[in-house]
Amino acid sequence: MITVELDNFSLKEICQSGQCFRMRETEENTYELIAGDQYLKLTQEGTIVTFYCSDVEFLCYWVPYFDLDADYGGYIEKINPRDRYLCAAAASGSGIRILRQDLWEMIITFLISQQNNITRIRGCIDRLCKRYGEKKVSLDGMEYWSFPTPQQLGTATEEELRALGMGYRARYLVETTQSILKGEISLEKLYNMRYYRRAKQELMKLSGVGEKVADCICLFALHHMDAFPIDTHIRQVLDEHYKRGFPNRRYHGLRGIMQQYIFYYELTQRFRR
């Protein structure tokens, strides 16, 4: 168990930010997270966060996963104070971190996310993991299923995936998995691609991966912080608040962080309206 004090860190905001779909609030201020084949319980009281894991797991896995070494307060300070909308968005989601998630898991996750809502996405991923992943037991006796590897998911047929509720996305999952297994697209090479646009172009060679999905994968797996996924809600914000275009030059290298503040702000504002 590791207890640390963290600024600009909110488990609630991270859980609701749309980056990951295997993180849940189990009781007030208590969360569980499954990432790949790892399980983690976390609690938070104010700025005090407790990670229920070993020192080695915390330092080697969860510090990079939650981007804990980055200064998000410094990122927020770079926002133009005259941009009232973005200032409000950042204040609303100031505890969000851009997670460093597994590339393969993010490819499959965001293929499933297309034209889908958060509840259905979570259900689809849970069923996929229980059908093709490996059953695990955490140190405190919690049963969970790992995210299936390409080899494990490679046994799935389109019909089986449709039966799990994947709909038209089943074909994308089968074809993308086979592309990875055959080496047509290399996960290792994607990890090593230095430039965001090159990685995005490579990802868009996969079945079902368009610009928005590629940007999500670039941001949430490859940590290309200039990726700026645009969905319907982000497009509406750009049309309403940035008629001359989003100030990309000012936020070069930080655009993805700003996108997350906007996305979270719009998501929470919709519930309040």
Instruction: Read off the DSSP letter of residue 62.
Output: I
Q: Cβ distance 247 to 140 under 8 Å? A: no
CA distance 217 to 113: 12
User: What is the phi/psi pair of residue 23, to 5°?
Assistant: -120, 130
Of 99, 103, 114, the closest CA to residue 36 belongs to 103
Active site residues: 212
What six digits make up the tokens of 1? 């168990």
Cα dihedral 57, 28, 93, 95 sign? negative
Length of the chain: 273
> Looking at this protein, which amino acid is placed at residue 174?
V
The number of C-alpha atoms within 13 Å of 241 and in the hemisphere containing its C-beta is 18
Distance CA 182, CA 186 (A): 9
